[in-house]
Amino acid sequence: MRGRMPIRPLEEIADAAVGVFLARGFRPAGISDVAAALGLSHGAVYTYAKSKQALFHLALMRVLRPDAVTGLAVPVPTPTADEVIALVESWASDQSALARLAEASAGPSGLSPSAELGAVVDELYAFVEQNRVALQLVERCAEELPELAQWYFVQRRRAMVEQVGEYLAARIAAGLLRPVPDVPVAARFIVETVAWFAMHRHGDPDSRMLTDDDCRRTVHHLLVAAFPPGEESHDRHR
């Protein structure tokens, strides 16, 4: 008589779900994909999570609140949309604010224009790099989950781009950074350049030769060089 399969740690189930949702997104992913990743039957997965939505909630919890997975009762229930948003909002509220950007946006920081911009870029890069798996998972699945899309793309990312834009506009108006054709586009350029090198390149098979340190230093160098202080810009065009 065949014995019962041993219970798998919920952390293993969560890790498999993270991998599946990162690779496939929310809608195309299925419970069978998670089952295959674990070497379990389709039905066995329901021992751990009641639905695909429950697996996604478990995956989010694993990347946002790793310790919270331990000790959860199984099967993990299907969450409401409000519960999913509450999880990501709770995580976001615990993240340290972009202090350099906030300080620079509030007024002169005492640094030179180039040093100040470099500090803002480095801080943004560090945030994305340190949280890249969580950000990738949310971004990968948000397009198929309206409430999550509203939170991530509108409330979070758009607000960050706008804050960078306000900082650039203030420094340009003060003559500390050179004018650009369009400030919102320039702000998006900074944010998306950081996002690609700190996060998205890890999913690009043709970027494996790029090291973390080289990317970090080069992004800093090029973004600071793209916005020279007013006097430097004037001197270049003499």
* Nearest by Cα to 125 from 55, 200, 232: 200
pLDDT interval class at 105 (50, 70, 90): confident
Same domain? 95 vs 169: yes
Structural domain harbouring 188: 91-236
Q: Amino acid identity, residue 111?
A: L
Q: Beta-strand (E) ranges in the chain? A: none
As for how many domains the chain has, the answer is 2
Contact assessment for residue 118 and residue 100, using Cβ atoms and an 8 Å cutoff: no
Same domain? 55 vs 116: no
Alpha helices in 174-206 (DSSP H): 183-198
Same domain? 30 vs 141: no
Q: Token digits for 143?
A: 């397009």
Give the Cβ contact number of residue 76 at 10 Å. 22
Pairwise CA distance, residues 76 & 7, whole Å = 14
Which pLDDT score, from 0 to 100, does residue 93 have?
87
Lowest mean per-residue pLDDT among 14-28, 30-44, 99-113, 183-197? 99-113
- Tens of pLDDT, residues 157-185: 999 999 999 999 999 999 999 999 999 99
Same domain? 227 vs 134: yes
Same domain? 52 vs 104: no
pTM: 0.88
Q: What is the CATH number of the domain that holds 114?
A: 1.10.357.10
Same domain? 201 vs 107: yes
